[in-house]
Structures are given as structure tokens and as C-alpha cells.
Amino acid sequence: MADGAQLPASSNNPPAPGNGGRTSGEKSDERIPLSIESEQAVLGAILFDNEVFYKVSAYLQTEHFYDQIHALVYDACRTLIEQGRLASPVTVDAHLSISDGYRDAGGRQYLERMAASVPATSSAHDYARVVFDLAVYRGLMHIGGDIIDRARRAALDDAPDEQLQDAERQLYELAEKGHYGKGFKTFRSALIEAVDVADAALKRGGGLSGIATGLEDLDNMMGGLHPSDLIILAGRPSMGKTSLAVNVAVNVARARLRAIAEGRESEDETGGVVGFFSLEMSADQIAMRILSEMSEVPSNEIRRGTIDEAQFERIYHRARELDTLPFHIDDTGGLSIAQVAARARRLKRQKGLDLIVVDYLQLLSGSTRKGDSRVQEITEISVGLKALAKELHVPVLALSQLSRGVEARDDKRPLLSDLRESGSIEQDADIVLFVYREEYYLRRSEPKSGEEEGAQISHAKWLERMEQARGIAEVIIAKQRHGPIGNVPLAFNENLTKFSNLDHQRYDSHRHD
């Protein structure tokens, strides 16, 4: 390490401890990024004023200290302070009296010298950042060494893709200050996070503590999309599940765009940056859907070129407005769950990430170990998506197919048992949503009209039912860990593939009839 990276402490700084400790001038450590003096300055400031701990503990962890004795002292301070007790040279000494190497390092006298030699507690944050940054450098060296070693002795069953994914995962964990080496979380910190969620909901007028879907009734039932949740959105073909996912994703990204334009980016939590993995549709097809919805020009007319100048002007202006939309599409086909995780980590690191959408789950692949069944592979995928939601602390909205068993029933509203490989998907999901449109099934069950009175009556009733069901969709909340289940009515414009809020009076009339 260059001399400039090792910050000097005050002239009366205590000597470094002997058991496992190092001094910054030792030749054996010339290549290792470390600053014993900065570690001593941080610990001395904490022992002098325990309030310093609360300022640095959000990012500084025990494992960031190079010297083993310093790590022991920091951990002892953490334990005492979190118990509501004073962390002083006397109490820490009592706490560490039987620890290996502590007495050899100087014991209580060493703690007292550190506390007495603090230049200024106001500088503790700066020293703590030095300790943290040098730990990151050492982490990079460790990961780099592992990469070189693993590549050098690569075996046939250790593919380059797996090595790249593992390296990226390690680098992401190192880059995430709040997650790197965090380990167990105290109940106190969990309580603080829970209160923060409640406070966020209160500030937004109640009812919403997660990212807003932009669909009012759905947000009221779910409270928005919550970080770390795996949300499964399932439906039979042509029900509109991809359209609904795109609508929600665009609403989230547009909310963030509005917040940026109005200077509210740091305050607004209803919108966010979206990462959309489209394993079925291409990026330009999704863009076409979005343009169609925003400009209110049917996408089939856009594709055929049967639009007039006024419609083209609307399309052009909407495209200009959406040019900076924080909406990122990856349309690579055949991705594995490991590749999705690696690309999501990269997006979060480079651009930020608040919502992941996967269209759709069954098109992902697992590790495909020999002898694995499809059920085992789907289990690996659903577990992996839930783990990714927790790791990145973002909601993951994953689309899923339903089995054909739905078509065999008179009532074609989906059930949890209709999920393909439902055991793993249902178990891992925090929320399961189904999209159902009665209009779709009614259209395919039109009775024959004839001269007979019975046929005419039957056809008239069908026409009446079709009119009542036209443009109405239901999102069925079949599972929700933290809220109620039930049906949410939405309006659906088939020409624009657009879901929107529905007039309740019309839906109630439709249900009663």
C-alpha cells in the first residue's frame, strides 16, 4: 500500500497491539491496504463518546478491521451499546478479559491510551470511512486472487459462465455497503425498519407503503409492491398478463420520471427504476405496446402503417417524452436464473433498480444438473427469484403460466392449484395474482342464432352478457402473506392492451347480473 493511503494518527497514538496486530511500517504488509492508526482512531473515539458508534455502525462492521484485537474491541463495543450499557475502557476490558491475545496486546491500558489519544471525535467518520475503504480494497484483492486461482485450476465441471457469475456476485456483495458482511440483524434494527415503513405509508396519506402500481384498487388491496417480495402474476394465454406487467412497470418508471422532473427524486418512493426481463417478446415489441398505450393508437394499426399524420404526431411526441424513461429491457432468450441474478446486480450497481419483472418464469432455466426433473428446475428458479428479491431488496414480479385444467371447468377463474409446478411457486411467492377476463371466454362460447324462439332468446342473453363483460378484467389476489385476498376489478382496452381503473358502479352491476 502506498504511504499516502495510510493515515497517520496523533503523535501520542498508542502502539499497535502485538497479537495479530501490525504496524503500518512493517515490510510484510507493504502490499496490504491497511491503516492501524485509523482503526485506533475510530475505536478511541467510540470509547471516548459512544454516540460515535451510532454514526459509523451503519456501514462499519467488525470484519472491516484488519487487526484481530481491534475487531474484538469493536465487537465488544457493539454488544455493550446495543444492550444499552456504557462502552468504556473499564467495561470493554471486563468483557474481553478472557479473549485470546487481548492481554498480550496491552489489555485495559491499551484501551485507555486509545481513548485518551483521540484527536477529535468529529473526525471519527473520516477515519471510519478509511477503515471501510481499505477493507474493500482487501476484499477486491481476495476476490481477484480467488478468480485467478479458480481459472488456473479450472475443471471440466466448472464452466467459465459459472465462474463469471460467481465473481460478479462476490463483487456485488462487496459493493453493497449495507449488505456486505452484514450477518444477523438485531430486532431493534428490524423494528426501526418496520416503523419507517409505517411512517412512509402515513406520509403518503395511508394505505400505500410500497411502490405504486398505478392501479388504485390494486394498490389499496396490496399497499403497493414491497421490497423483498416475490409476486407471481399468472393467467392463461390471451388473458393479458404481459400487458398488465408492462402497464405496471411503465407506471412505476413514469412515476420516477415525474419525481425527477419535479425535483422530488429523493423524497418519492412510489416510482422507481425498472429492470424488465422479456424472454418471450423482443424489446421493440414491448416498446410498441408502450407507445400504443401512451399515444392511444392501436398497435396493429401502427404495425400496418394505417395511421394518419395526427396519430403519427402523437406517437412521435410520446416517444420523445418517454426517451429518458428509467425502464431497462433485457430480451435475451433462454436465460438461466443465475444469469438473471447477475444482470440484475449489474443494473442495480450501474443505474439503480427498484423493480424486477420477469416474463415469464417457465422460460428461465436452472442449473440443469443431470437427472433433475422439470419440477426440481422450477423449484430452483422460484427459490432463486425469491432470494434475488431479498438480496437486492426490491420486489420481483414474475409471470407464470397456468395449467390447461382451467379450461375443463365451467368456472374458469384460476385457482392456486392451477399453477404449473404449483408446489414450489405457490410456496415461495409472497403474493399470487391471477388475471381473468370473462369476455374472452364468452366470445368463444357464442350460441347459434336461428329462427327458433329458444335460440333467439339464448343468443340475446349472450349478447347482453357480452356487453356487460366487455372491457372488464379481474385481478384475483389468491395469496398475500401480509394482506387480504379477493378480487380487484380493472378496465381493459384490448386495442391498446391497457389496464386501468374501473368504475365501481359498472362492475357491481356486472357482478349482480
What the block records as the C-alpha cell of 473 is: 378484467
Fold for the domain defined by 208-435: Rossmann fold (3.40.50)
Grouping H, G, I as helix, E, B as strand and the rest as coil, residue 316 is: helix
Q: Tell me the pLDDT tens digit for each residue of 89-104.
A: 999 988 888 887 888 8
Q: How confident is the model at residue 508 (pLDDT cuts 50, 70, 90)?
A: low
Grouping H, G, I as helix, E, B as strand and the rest as coil, residue 270 is: coil
Residue 22 has a pLDDT of 42
Residue 451 has a pLDDT of 53
Return the half-sphere exposure (C-beta side, CA atoms, 13 A cut-off) of residue 292.
Answer: 25
Q: Are 478 and 414 in contact (CB under 8 A)?
A: yes
What the block records as the C-alpha cell of 294 is: 401512451
For the chain, percent of residues with pLDDT exceeding 70: 79
Q: Tell me the pLDDT tens digit for each residue of 102-152.
A: 888 888 888 988 888 887 777 888 888 889 889 888 888 888 888 888 888
Domain ranges of the chain: 3-179, 208-435
- Phi, psi of 435, deg, nearest 5: -100, 130
Q: Residue 182: is its pLDDT beyond 50?
A: no
Helix-then-strand count for the chain, H and E? 19, 9
Q: Are 236 and 406 in contact (CB under 8 A)?
A: yes
What the block records as the C-alpha cell of 410 is: 365451467
- Between 122 and 221, whose confidence is greater? 221
Looking at domain 3-179, its CATH class is mainly alpha
Mean pLDDT, the chain, rounded, equals: 79
Q: Tell me the pLDDT tens digit for each residue of 274-332.
A: 999 998 888 888 888 888 888 888 878 887 778 888 888 888 888 888 888 899 988 88
Q: How confident is the model at residue 171 (pLDDT cuts 50, 70, 90)?
A: confident
Q: How confident is the model at residue 208 (pLDDT cuts 50, 70, 90)?
A: low
| Stretch 388-407: mean pLDDT | 88
Q: How confident is the model at residue 29 (pLDDT cuts 50, 70, 90)?
A: very low
Q: Tell me the pLDDT tens digit for each residue of 230-269.
A: 999 998 888 889 999 999 999 999 888 888 877 776 556 6
Q: Tell me the pLDDT tens digit for each residue of 319-368.
A: 888 888 899 988 888 888 888 888 888 888 888 899 999 988 888 887 66
Residue 274 has a pLDDT of 92
Among the listed ranges 6-15, 90-99, 101-110, 400-409, which one has the minimum average pLDDT value?
6-15
Residue 351 has a pLDDT of 85
Residue 265 has a pLDDT of 64
C-alpha to C-alpha distance for 417 and 154, rounded to whole angstroms: 44
Ordered alpha helix ranges (H), 57-159: 68-82, 89-96, 107-116, 124-152
The phi-psi region of residue 430 (left if phi > 0; otherwise alpha if psi is between -120 and 50; otherwise beta) is: alpha
For the chain, percent of residues with pLDDT exceeding 90: 13
CA angle 436, 437, 440 (to 5 degrees): 130
Residue 8 has a pLDDT of 34
Ordered alpha helix ranges (H), 265-373: 283-295, 299-304, 309-321, 337-350
CA-only gyration radius of the chain, Å: 29
Q: Residue 511: is its pLDDT beyond 80?
A: no
- Phi, psi of 447, deg, nearest 5: -75, 155
Residue 477 has a pLDDT of 93
Name which of 262, 314, 357 is nearest 496 in CA terms: 314
